[in-house]
């Protein structure tokens, strides 16, 4: 009989040690799974199979899928950097960079567009709190009215998350098809032109846009709205900061 013969004793067989199952390892794998296959792919059974762990082992660390999703959202928030703001005049640059860092994070993790509404009204994870604390500090250094900083940060994040999630949902839909974003829009353009033919303002806007690089268009739209939000915050400072 050919082939490798079984060892006569268990102690002589090579053994593969599995990495210890921890909350961090579970969350890392959950993020990896959702990045690859989307939010719907995340189940405790699927995740356990990827980790080589049974359901009982999983539930010792994470109570349920909802709790795991909340942990995953906080994990990716760690990727958002808020530049140091050492002087009042740098506040706008710091908030602008932070907004773009958040937009990039959402683009990397397309599942978050559907995940955010599912994790509740209160985000108390350490990375979410760190982000908010850092943004509060930027506005405090700028001299923003203390009683309004919370609302100002909420306004900024509301704009950034809203625009980024909408953009991400669009790109996720594109990814499911067999055409690039630019190819799809080129195909749809004649249809759009016919649809807006009776609306002069829309027709003019479409004509002005021409055959622009759609990625550049998305960037410009995001930056335009962000600039207007920052203009509003600057106006509230009473012109004290350039």
- pLDDT tens string 30-41: 999 999 999 999
Which of 173, 181, 77 has the alpha carbon at shortest distance from 133?
77
Do the domains at 14-62 and 81-176+212-236 have one common CATH topology?
A: no
How high is the mean pLDDT of the chain? 88
Enumerate the domain spans of the chain: 14-62, 81-176+212-236
Under a CB-based contact definition with an 8 Å cutoff, are residues 68 and 59 in contact? Answer: no
**How high is the pLDDT of residue 126?**
92
Higher pLDDT, 226 or 122: 226
pTM greater than the 0.75 cutoff: yes
CA–CA gap between residue 183 and residue 228 (Å, rounded): 31
Question: φ, ψ for residue 14 (rounded to 5)?
Answer: -65, 140
Categorize the per-residue pLDDT at 15 as very low, low, confident or very high, splitting at 50, 70 and 90: low
Under a CB-based contact definition with an 8 Å cutoff, are residues 44 and 55 in contact? Answer: yes
* Per-residue pLDDT reduced to its tens digit, 45-95: 999 999 998 878 888 999 999 999 999 999 999 999 999 998 999 999 999
CA–CA gap between residue 166 and residue 163 (Å, rounded): 5
**How high is the pLDDT of residue 58?**
86
State the architecture of 14-62 in CATH terms: Orthogonal Bundle (1.10)
**Is residue 215 scored above 80 in pLDDT?**
yes
**How high is the pLDDT of residue 162?**
93
Higher pLDDT, 168 or 241: 168
**How high is the pLDDT of residue 4?**
59
**Is residue 206 scored above 70 in pLDDT?**
yes
Which of 34, 30, 15, 107 has the alpha carbon at shortest distance from 68?
30
Q: Crossing angle of helices 214-236/181-195, nearest 10°?
A: 80
**Is residue 155 scored above 70 in pLDDT?**
yes
Residue 15 vs residues 10, 11, 12, 18, 214: alpha-carbon distances, Å: 9, 9, 9, 10, 53
* CATH superfamily label, 81-176+212-236: Tetracycline Repressor, domain 2 (1.10.357.10)
């Amino acid at each position: 009989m050919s082939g490798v013969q079984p060892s006569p004793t268990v102690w002589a067989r090579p053994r593969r040690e599995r990495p210890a199952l921890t909350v961090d390892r579970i969350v890392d794998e959950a993020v990896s799974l959702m990045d690859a296959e989307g939010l719907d792919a995340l189940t405790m059974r699927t995740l356990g199979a990827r980790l080589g762990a049974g359901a009982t082992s999983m539930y010792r660390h994470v109570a349920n899928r909802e709790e795991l999703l909340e942990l995953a959202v906080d994990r990716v928030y760690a990727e958002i950097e808020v530049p140091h703001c050492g002087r009042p005049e740098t506040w706008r640059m710091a908030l602008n960079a932070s907004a773009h860092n958040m937009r990039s994070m959402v683009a990397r993790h397309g599942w978050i567009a559907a995940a955010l509404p599912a994790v509740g009204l209160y985000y108390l994870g350490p990375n979410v709190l760190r982000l908010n604390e850092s943004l509060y500090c930027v506005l405090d250094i700028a001299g923003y009215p203390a009683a309004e900083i919370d609302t100002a940060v909420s306004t900024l994040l509301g704009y950034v998350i809203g625009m980024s999630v909408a953009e991400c949902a669009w790109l996720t839909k594109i990814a499911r098809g067999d055409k690039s974003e630019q190819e799809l829009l080129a195909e749809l353009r004649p249809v759009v032109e016919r649809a807006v033919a009776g609306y002069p303002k829309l027709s003019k806007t479409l004509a002005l846009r021409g055959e622009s690089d759609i990625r550049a268009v998305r960037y410009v739209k995001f930056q335009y709205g962000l600039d207007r939000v920052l203009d509003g915050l600057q106006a509230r400072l009473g012109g004290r900061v350039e």
